[in-house]
């Protein structure tokens, strides 16, 4: 992270890459996110087979909402059951190449489990600081991967403070590395591959709308970055999807800031929602997220826990997709926008199920 408090983003020499990295070269490459290696850090991959998740057509749900073209990008099939595997795969790969031996992060659940898994793969010691309200399956999963887990009263912001108080300055005498959201640039690089995959799976015609459950916002920022890179590579044109950020009514800092016309989002007091990944009271990427929503002509939508659980059940019963509450939140936003006429009947919509619902079933 920059000393000014803003995120750092990796940049590539696109003019050089344009000549060497053509989209037709993707044919026959391995079915992981590392198929886009030219647009990723040049380090040996620490991989569990992450990425290239299915883009599933949701015909029954679309029919019920009066939509012609609704797709679900199902991130639940990633290693550790969520999209967090993407960011941690790349971030841990870079850290391992640079000799990092101790990895640490605060987490609402899935990111910690992913760091624990990839850290184990890279022979790192992993220290996780989770809110005490984190669903038990996330805690047990992280411990199975060998992580040392500390439960902290409060939110992920409180967990982050406890981590820094316990471990001291990152990179100091303890030699630990901070993998917190947007405090290093490489989790974004992993998450941006969702944008590359959507483009590839849709034959390089981007959808009209992308609906994305937003906590720390790494994926939203990453996908927008991917679209800019692909335009620089000559793979797509300047048209962009409308980006829709979805949060919980009990924790909606981006929605509040967007609706109030602000450029930054202040911290959300007392965040409460069943969706652990949405219980993020603030993000250092707030300015970038709000800018993306406005530049794309998008929106920010808050849905309550009842809506998200109802829609998660709909994805299961109608489409056979075992969605997490965050995925349910995305469908709830699609339903609301469709009913309000903010999404046109003939538009192509991609919504994200960011993880498996199994971790919420215990």
Q: Are 329 and 308 in contact (CB under 8 A)?
A: yes
pLDDT at 237: 97
Q: pLDDT-based confidence at 2, cuts 50/70/90? A: very low
pLDDT at 362: 56
Equal CATH topology for 55-82+187-360 and 84-184: yes
pLDDT score of 332 more than 60: yes
CATH fold of 55-82+187-360: Rossmann fold (3.40.50)
What is the rounded distance in angstroms from the CA atom of residue 46 to the CA atom of residue 122?
A: 7
**Three-state DSSP class for residue 324:** coil
pLDDT tens per residue across span 197-215:
999 999 999 999 999 999 9
Closest Cα partner for 7 from 216, 265, 244, 258? 216
pLDDT tens per residue across span 46-92:
999 999 999 999 999 999 999 999 999 999 999 999 999 999 999 99
Q: What percent of the chain shows pLDDT beyond 90? A: 90
- The CA-atom distances, in angstroms, between 41 and each of 11, 17, 30, 242, 322 are 10, 13, 17, 28, 33
Looking at domain 84-184, which CATH architecture does it have?
3-Layer(aba) Sandwich (3.40)
pLDDT at 173: 46
User: What is the sign of the dihedral through the CA atoms of 153, 155, 158 and 162?
Assistant: positive
pLDDT tens per residue across span 245-273:
999 999 999 999 999 999 999 999 999 99
pLDDT at 4: 55
pLDDT tens per residue across span 119-146:
999 999 999 999 999 989 999 999 999 9
Round the average pLDDT of the chain to a whole number and report it: 94
Query: Domain ranges in the chain?
Result: 55-82+187-360, 84-184
What is the rounded distance in angstroms from the CA atom of residue 295 to the CA atom of residue 228?
A: 13
pLDDT score of 243 more than 90: yes
pLDDT at 3: 52
pLDDT score of 280 more than 70: yes
pLDDT at 223: 98
Q: Is the pTM of this model over 0.85?
A: yes
């Amino acid at each position: 992270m920059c000393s000014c408090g803003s995120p750092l983003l990796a940049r590539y020499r696109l003019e050089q890459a344009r000549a060497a990295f053509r989209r037709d070269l993707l044919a026959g490459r391995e079915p992981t996110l590392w198929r886009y290696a030219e647009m990723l850090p040049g380090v040996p991959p620490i991989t569990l087979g992450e990425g290239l998740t299915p883009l599933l057509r949701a015909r029954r749900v679309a029919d019920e909402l009066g939509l012609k073209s609704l797709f679900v990008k199902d991130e639940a099939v990633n290693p550790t059951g969520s999209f967090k595997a993407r960011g941690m795969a790349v971030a841990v790969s870079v850290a391992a190449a640079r000799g990092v031996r101790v990895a640490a992060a605060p987490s609402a659940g899935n990111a910690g489990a992913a760091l624990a898994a990839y850290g184990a793969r890279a022979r790192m010691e992993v220290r996780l600081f989770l809110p005490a309200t984190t669903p038990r399956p996330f805690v047990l999963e992280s411990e199975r991967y060998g992580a040392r887990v500390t439960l902290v009263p409060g939110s992920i912001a409180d967990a982050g403070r406890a981590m820094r108080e316990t471990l001291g300055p990152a990179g100091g005498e303890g030699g630990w590395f901070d993998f917190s959201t947007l405090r290093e640039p490489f989790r974004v690089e992993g998450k941006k591959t969702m944008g590359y995959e959507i483009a590839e799976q849709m034959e390089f015609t981007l959808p009209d709308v992308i609906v994305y459950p937003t906590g720390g916002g790494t994926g939203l920022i990453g996908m927008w970055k991917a679209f800019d890179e692909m335009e620089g590579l000559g793979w797509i044109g300047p048209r962009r999807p409308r980006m829709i950020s979805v949060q919980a009514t009990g924790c909606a800092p981006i929605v509040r800031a967007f609706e109030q016309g602000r450029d930054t989002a202040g911290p959300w007091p007392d965040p409460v929602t069943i969706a652990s990944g949405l219980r993020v009271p603030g993000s250092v990427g707030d300015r970038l997220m709000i800018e993306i929503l406005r530049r794309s002509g998008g929106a920010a939508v808050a849905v309550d826990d009842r809506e998200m659980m109802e829609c998660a059940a709909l994805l299961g019963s109608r489409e056979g997709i075992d969605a997490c509450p965050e995925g349910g939140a995305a469908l709830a936003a699609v339903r609301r926008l469709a009913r309000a006429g903010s999404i046109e009947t003939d538009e192509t919509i991609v919504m994200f199920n960011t993880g498996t619902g199994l971790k919420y079933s215990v």
